[in-house]
Amino acid sequence: MFRYLTAGESHGPALVGILDGLPAHLHLDVGAIDATLTARQGGHGRGGRMKIERDRVEFLAGLRGGVTLGSPIAVVVRNHDHATPHVRALMDPLSGSGEPLTNPRPGHADYAGALKYRERDLRNVLERASARETAMRVCLGAICAQFLAALGITTHSAVARIGEVAATFEQWDDAAVEASPVRCPDLAISAAMTAAIDAAKAAGDTLGGTVLVRIDGMPAGIGSNRQPAQRLDGILAGALMGTQTVKAVEVGDGTAIAGRPGSAAHDAFALRDGAVVRASNRAGGIEGGMSNGQPILLRIAVKPIPTLMRALPSVDLHAGAPAPATVVRSDVCVVPAAGIVCEAMVRLALVGPILEKFGGDSIEETLDNLARSRAASAALFERTPVQR
């Protein structure tokens, strides 16, 4: 019912994306999409590339008068760096040329990709593997965010760790996140994170960290326990693990649950004014592969960028000799931007299971189906007189 594709190389002419399956009659705020693209470019620790790019969405299909048609949506985000004569000569789709890159970077796709695709020039691997591609994922995710918002579902992200500097929180104020250069709502910790990034830059090193993503307004019953591929936690974790630099995903209390007894691991039920409530949210909003109506909380570990200005040891694959890893223009820390990217992946991952549950060829039909589902859920456990 819903699918998406991205195409494009880091220094090619443009990034291209297609969304197929969004219902008709959804009004899109293009300015909000551009604002999300701009947010991805920010964060303390980004490199020189972000000073060149001015990411903006261009719609080619699926939209008329700012309203979705229900047909596939096609979009483009231009790579301004491609206009540089040197870059254009390297990455022109028809005449691209230049000296091959031969020294793989530890932690990057260079070496494994060269073996997989039988490439002697690592550029033919790293251009697509580059996290520049996430600009299109963010663009498509920003479109999906407007579909989700129409259903009352919102996503939020914040940075909880950079390097050894960590903050502890599960709730946060979005305004405080946006005011921080590293998107951490704890301003004192934010300053320490900024200093850690500066120290890593001075040392020619890079830093990773941890991002939190929270989903509010999720109806209960999204996802399924019927088949493994339908489990919502698996869908979300798979989408996030498919993101450059992501190395681990936790749902709710995650790995901490493994060290607790069951009495301290689960969220007990209670009644409050006749309504079923929970005293905690250790499960992170997902039980048995299905959303349970509580906020969904995800913790994502992001590794340090593999390109170090003080290059790690490597080999020259052509010469068959030890050599330093290739050094290309890169960032010191992408953790703040990773929060924006992880939100995009969560949004893209949610749309399919939600449409599977509620369907709808138009947004009006989807909303009607959602309203009926909520009404049926509310009536499910209403106390009725016993029939005698």
Q: Which of 50-64, 124-138, 230-244 has the lowest mean pLDDT?
A: 50-64
Mean pLDDT, range 30-37, rounded to an integer: 97
* Sequence-ordered list of residues with C-beta below 8 angstroms from that of 160, at least 6 positions apart, any chain: 166, 167, 168, 169, 184, 209, 210, 211, 212, 299
CA distances from 261 to 264, 265, 379 (A): 6, 6, 35
Angle at 260 between CA 257 and CA 266, to 5 degrees: 65
Determine the residue type at 172.
Answer: W
Q: What is the pLDDT of residue 48?
A: 65
The region, left, alpha or beta by phi > 0 then psi within -120 to 50, assigned to residue 8 is left
Distance CA 358, CA 369 (A): 6
Q: What is the pLDDT of residue 86?
A: 81
Q: Which of 72-86, 270-284, 326-340, 373-387 has the lowest mean pLDDT?
A: 373-387
Mean pLDDT, range 230-246, rounded to an integer: 97
Q: How confident is the model at residue 53 (pLDDT cuts 50, 70, 90)?
A: confident
Q: What is the pLDDT of residue 384?
A: 54
Q: What is the pLDDT of residue 158?
A: 97
Instruction: Look over the chain and give the mean of its residue pLDDT values, rounded to a whole number.
Output: 93
Q: What is the pLDDT of residue 208?
A: 97
Q: What is the pLDDT of residue 381?
A: 80
Q: How confident is the model at residue 1 (pLDDT cuts 50, 70, 90)?
A: confident
Beta-carbon count within 10 A of 368 CB = 13
Lookup: tokens for 366 = 């989807």
| 250: helix, strand or coil | strand
* pLDDT tens-digit map of 73-115: 999 999 988 888 888 888 888 888 888 999 999 999 999 999 9
Residue 261, φ and ψ in degrees, nearest 5: -75, 160
Decide if pLDDT at 386 tops 50. Answer: no
Residue located via tokens 């190389």: 9
Q: How confident is the model at residue 275 (pLDDT cuts 50, 70, 90)?
A: confident
Angle at 106 between CA 100 and CA 109, to 5 degrees: 60
Determine the residue type at 252.
Answer: G
pTM for this model (two decimals)? 0.94
Distance CA 228, CA 223 (A): 10
Question: 275-278 and 321-324 as β-strands: parallel, antiparallel, unpaired?
Answer: unpaired
Distance CA 330, CA 184 (A): 22
Q: How confident is the model at residue 378 (pLDDT cuts 50, 70, 90)?
A: confident
* pLDDT tens-digit map of 294-344: 999 999 999 999 989 899 999 999 999 999 998 877 789 999 999 999 999
Residue 103, φ and ψ in degrees, nearest 5: -110, 105
Distance CA 356, CA 353 (A): 5
Domains of the chain: 3-380 (3.60.150.10)
Decide if pLDDT at 47 tops 80. Answer: no
